[in-house]
Amino acid sequence: KAGVTQTPRYLIKTRGQQVTLSCSPISGHRSVSWYQQTPGQGLQFLFEYFSETQRNKGNFPGRFSGRQFSNSRSEMNVSTLELGDSALYLCASSLAGYQPQHFGDGTRLSIL
Amino acid sequence: EDKVVQSPLSLVVHEGDTVTLNCSYEVTNFRSLLWYKQEKKAPTFLFMLTSSGIEKKSGRLSSILDKKELSSILNITATQTGDSAIYLCAVEAVGDSNYQLIWGAGTKLIIKP
């Protein structure tokens, strides 16, 4: 059974640009959550999608948005990138939101 | 405000030692507590503890949930260098129509040969 797949693995952008990250969950998983991880900050919850609807949202500015498609794949978009957006972005999937979640390897985003 | 606190934040021990990591929580409507291990990339699931399953064991790793003390411990015996990682604790709290997962900051464990 394939795990959670995130693309791209690495990304370098400059301030002001926008970026889209992709996440393919484990087959059969309908819940997809996104996290931002920076050194010393732990995992910061961005949002969770279930059946194409945003079900939970963390405390991030509106520059961070996401969506989920009918096949449960999810994308996360960050607009007007700032230096502080440099982080590892992790995606996790689970069966209908029930635990445990299973994580992808993440996308390392660097802002120059 | 719901919160999860892990201690210590970092720990350095020698191979063969036993370590105990702590996770305490304050949440409304607790449903489960989860432990994850994160080496370089994806956190990998270790244990899930609930009211009906307060003790879990897998090889040298074991975990106990203390619902009275609102805490959990993760024990690793006969540590190996491969146990070096960040150990994350998360607590699932259930609301009216959804749930949320509250994460601790993690414990960075370093095992010296």
Which H helix or E strand runs over B45? strand B44-49
Find where tokens 């960040």 sit.
Answer: B86
> In the prediction, which pLDDT does A111 show?
96
Helices (H) and strands (E) in chain A, counts: 0, 11
Least Cα separation, residue A38 to chain B (angstroms): 10
**Which of A42 and A57 is assigned the larger pLDDT?**
A57
> In the prediction, which pLDDT does B97 show?
62
Query: What are residue B112's DSSP bridge partners?
Result: B14
> In the prediction, which pLDDT does A96 show?
75
Question: Interior CA angle at B26 toward B22 and B28, to 5°?
Answer: 140
| Span B7-40, pLDDT tens digits | 999 999 999 999 999 999 999 889 999 999 999 8
Rounded distance, CA A57 to CA B105, Å? 19
Q: Which two tokens stand for residue B53?
A: 């399953």
> In the prediction, which pLDDT does B100 show?
80
**For A84, phi and psi rounded to 5 degrees?**
-70, -5
Beta strand spans in A16-106 (E): 19-24, 31-38, 42-50, 53-57, 64-68, 74-78, 87-94, 102-103
**Which of B42 and B7 is assigned the larger pLDDT?**
B7
Least Cα separation, residue A68 to chain B (angstroms): 18
For chain B, positions 37-96, list CB contacts with chain A under 8 A.
Answer: 41-45, 48, 88, 90, 92
Report long-range pairs for A58-64 (Cβ below 8 Å, ≥24 apart).
A60/A36
| Span B57-105, pLDDT tens digits | 999 999 999 989 999 999 999 999 999 999 999 998 887 666 788 899 9
Q: Are B94 and B108 in contact (CB under 8 A)?
A: no
Question: Which residues does chain A have within 8 Å of residue B34's beta carbon, measured at their own beta carbons?
Answer: 99-100
**pLDDT mean over A94-107:** 87
The beta-carbon neighbor of A105 closest among B41, B90, B99 is B41
| Span A9-40, pLDDT tens digits | 999 999 999 999 999 999 999 999 999 998 87
User: If pLDDT is split at 50, 70 and 90, which confidence band does A99 have?
Assistant: confident
User: If pLDDT is split at 50, 70 and 90, which confidence band does A1 have?
Assistant: low
Q: What is the mean pLDDT of chain A?
A: 93
Residue A103 touches chain B, beta carbons under 8 Å: yes
| Span A67-92, pLDDT tens digits | 999 999 999 999 999 999 999 999 99
Rounded distance, CA A90 to CA B42, Å? 8
> In the prediction, which pLDDT does A102 show?
93
